[in-house]
Structure formats: structure tokens, C-alpha cells
Amino acid sequence: MQTVAYECAVTGETVSFDGPLYGETLASLRGYKWAYSLGAHSMSGVGLQAREVTANFKVTSRVELDRARKLFTADMREGKPGTLIIDSMWRQKAFITAHEPSDITPELLTSQLTIVLLDGVWWREGATVECAVHSAEGGTWLDLPFNLPFDLQAPRMSAHVENIMPSSMPFRLRIYGPSNNPRVKIGGNDYMLDVLIPTGGYVTVDSRSRTATLVAANGDTSNVLSSAHRGSGLGSGAYIFEPLAPGVSQVEWDGSFGFDVTPIVEEVEPAWSI
């Protein structure tokens, strides 16, 4: 870890642990522990839970320490977790619940923080795939100079998105208007919403938070989760939050709207190497 910072949920301000609050290696943010229950010859209830860690740090600016305390306290009072950010990349929701000074001199304060890590995992964004509108000039596809006993459809467009992890991972899908009832197929799953996205607006589907939000051109937001297809759940082929399969998946859509897909990389601890 080269840099560690805390982003306040209430104000958006950040507290750096690279000085004048020095977190040193903050080794307690490393490591992980799975939760599980043991049976006679089995293991069940496997998962990653929130955990509490302590971290030592040194302070050379009491002014900065006072500022940090106010931000930590604001999040606790409002019940809104801040975000720990490692190397400007790995993120996890967290509360800082205690500060215990141990050695005080006029120049230096040595203390310990208690940090509650809420997500159980650290996450970062993968490579975003941008898929633009594809249509013929004038917004229509060229017709043939003669009639046929059937209709022609615009060709389906395709791209590819990659999940670099060996297991399924979450994603963020953002669809831009104008679009009516957009549908995107990734791998073997259809991501569909029965919603009208106006010009200048967009819908964001976030599988980590299980949300689908419409943002209008004027910035107004609305929850459109009820308009998202969920099929019969995970693996049904039409689940709006179906995670991305490992490896490269083909992306298909009718070309009438633009969107982008961002894989989310989750790790049980921040990567030791780049």
C-alpha cells in the first residue's frame, strides 16, 4: 500500500493517512477471514462479514487531527459509512469508531484507531467497455429497392467485456437515452428494463448495491428497480443483477442506444502486487 485515505460520506472531504496523520503500513487492513459453520463432514454458511480492526498512527498536526475527528464523527452521527481508499483504487465502506491516544508530546501524538470494515471485500473498477449508438444516416436502416414477404431488422451490434477474475464478479451498467425498454445481452443473460429513458438521461444498474436508478437530464433521480426484469433469479437468463462470468463475454444490443459496462473486481484483501 502506497496511499490510504478516508472519504467522509457526509461532506465528501478526505483524510489522508500519509501525513500529517501517518498510518505507517496499516497492516491491519490486510488479511481476511471467512465466516462459516462446521458440520460433521461439511462446511456451510460461508461468507465474508464485517470486521473490526485497530490501526496505529502518529500525528504531527493537531489541527488536522481535529478536522479528521469531525469528519469521522459526522459519518457516525448520520449513520452513513465513509469509504477507505487504498492506492486511489481499492475501496471499502467503513466507520471509524474509536480514537485512543497512547503517547502525547508537544511535537508528536501516538494513537490507535478502531475501524469497522463493512463490506467484507475490497473492490475496484475494471476496464469500462463503451458501446455507442449505431444507426444509418437519418436514424433508419437502408431498405431494399423491392418488397419481400418478410421484414428486415437492423443488425444486432456486438462488443466484448472481460472479467479478469476466476469467479463471477459484479458490474455497473449505464444506459443512455433516448431509449425505450432497452435490452442488453451479456454472455447468456439478458439485462432488460421496461422504462423510457429520455434524451440527456441515463439509467444506472449497479449489481453490488442491487439498484437501478434513472437520472433525468435536469439531474432528477428516480428508482426504477420495479421496471427491471429479474426472471426467476440468479441463472435464469433474464436476471438484471446476474454477475459477469469469468473471462470474456460477448455483449449484444440492437444499436439504437448507447451504454457502457464496467466490471467490478472484488478481492478479500487489497492486492499485494499491481
Mind listing the pLDDT tens digit for each residue in 187-223?
Answer: 999 999 999 999 999 999 999 999 999 999 999 999 9
Say whether both 111 and 156 belong to one domain: no
Number of compact structural domains in the chain: 2
Helix (H), strand (E), coil (C) string for 45-86: EEECCCEEEEEEEEECCHHHHHHHHHHHHHHHHHCCCEEEEE
Contact 121, 267 (CB under 8 A): yes
Structure confidence at residue 271 (pLDDT): 84
Say whether both 139 and 261 belong to one domain: yes
Say whether both 10 and 131 belong to one domain: no
CA nearest to 83, candidates 10, 27, 22, 31: 10
273 lies in some domain:
no
pLDDT tens readout for residues 136-162:
444 444 555 666 665 555 556 778 999
Say whether both 207 and 156 belong to one domain: yes
Contact 48, 268 (CB under 8 A): yes
Task: Choose between 148 and 238: higher pLDDT.
Answer: 238
Contact 55, 26 (CB under 8 A): yes
Write the CATH number for 17. Answer: 2.40.30.200
For residue 244 the three cell numbers come to: 459477469
Task: Choose between 174 and 152: higher pLDDT.
Answer: 174
Calculate the CA 191 to chain-centre distance.
18
Say whether both 73 and 154 belong to one domain: no
Residue pointed to by grid coordinates 421496461: 194
Tell me the whole-structure pTM to 2 decimals: 0.84
pLDDT tens readout for residues 42-90:
999 999 999 999 999 899 999 999 999 999 999 999 999 999 999 999 9
